[in-house]
Amino acid sequence: MNTQSVAPVTKECVGEEESDQRIDNFLFRRFRNVPKSHLYQLLRSGQVRVNGKRATASYRLQTGDMIRIPPVKVTEKNASRQITNIPGNFFAFTVLYEDDAMLVIDKPGGMAVHGGSGISFGVIEQLRAQNPGWKFLELVHRLDRETSGVLLLAKKRSALVELHRQIRAGLMEKHYLTMVKGKWRNAKQHVKLALDKYVTAAGERRVMVAAGSSKDSKSMQSHTIFSLQKSWQNFSLLDAEIKTGRTHQIRVHLAHLGFPIIGDDKYGDFEVNKRLARSGVQNKLGRMFLHAHTVGITHPLSGIRMHLQAPLPADLQRFIDSLEDM
């Protein structure tokens, strides 16, 4: 059964991971169930705007750009099976920090940060609907739907601009905890690999390590520092510090090295994932083991250095406990 919903007017700030992407490709990925001809019409008519101005389809987005997205009719297949959050049925987020400039929450795994691709309400839409009196609320950065942990949002434009400056300057510190297949042996390992984006035949956005020379201007330079936390016979727990915020960076780096993240449905070991999904209650894992546990920033207004932390979720901690019992 197909149903139609109309996405509301939204404004979205472009993050580092979406920089240098054509705006038409940005819209195609956001609205996969909308005809491309309609999205082009929205661009031509000026209903989609960047920084308050018209943009051609070939315009390449830059970090900090503000995109206005008008109401769009989205066809949702099997709508009853969509993971959605709608007004009156809000998810209760754990707030890690809040003041007049910022809101920091512990995003649960399985929830998208914004609507699109069949999801009417993501984190940002829900928070705006919950707080209609807030004049400004934008995502500072993004997390993949399956990734849990620290998510920053700005409540003032000045805070957003400053936090994006820190990201571009490499001043924002981000640490993730991840469980990988295999026995990792190096206590600390720097991984610097250029990445290329591509789209599968099914229209899914993917990333791969760039072939040949990493000096290709179209490739994205990326840097991750992995530190071993603990290893078992078949699995290893790593801290991943990202020095660059590329799309799927940690996932692709680890898969390329032969240590895929368990539960990763794009770059992981599908046989291992299937086995874990069918395991007993104690060591069953139903999603990707990737958690943003610490973000270090300088407060955009006060200048005080802050370290924001989100504890490991119960499902991921339960999996670690199951390994300890083996």
pLDDT-above-90 percentage for the chain = 48
Active site residue 321: no
**Residue 140, SS3 per DSSP:** coil
pLDDT in tens, 204-229: 778 999 986 445 557 888 999 999 99
Q: pTM (2 decimals)? A: 0.75
Please report the sign of the dihedral spanned by the C-alpha atoms of residue 54, residue 55, residue 57, residue 61. negative
Identified catalytic residue from 106, 144, 264, 269:
144
Phi, psi (rounded to 5 degrees) for 157: -60, -40
Q: Hey, what domains does the chain have and what are their CATH numbers?
A: 1-82 (3.10.290.10), 173-324 (3.30.2350.10)
pLDDT in tens, 253-294: 999 999 999 999 999 999 988 888 876 645 678 899 999 999
Kindly provide the residue ranges of all beta strands, DSSP E only, lying in 188-257, ordered along the sequence: 188-192, 195-199, 205-209, 223-231, 235-242
State the pLDDT at residue 179: 97
- List, in sequence order, the alpha helices (H) in the chain: 23-30, 36-44, 123-130, 157-168, 249-256, 270-277, 314-324
- Euclidean distance between CA atoms 85 and 125, whole angstroms: 9
Mean pLDDT lowest for which of 73-82, 231-240, 249-258, 266-275? 73-82
pLDDT for residue 79 is more than 60: no
Burial class (CB in 10 A: 0-12, 13-18, 19+), 264: buried
Structure tokens at 312: 């490991």
Phi, psi (rounded to 5 degrees) for 129: -70, -35
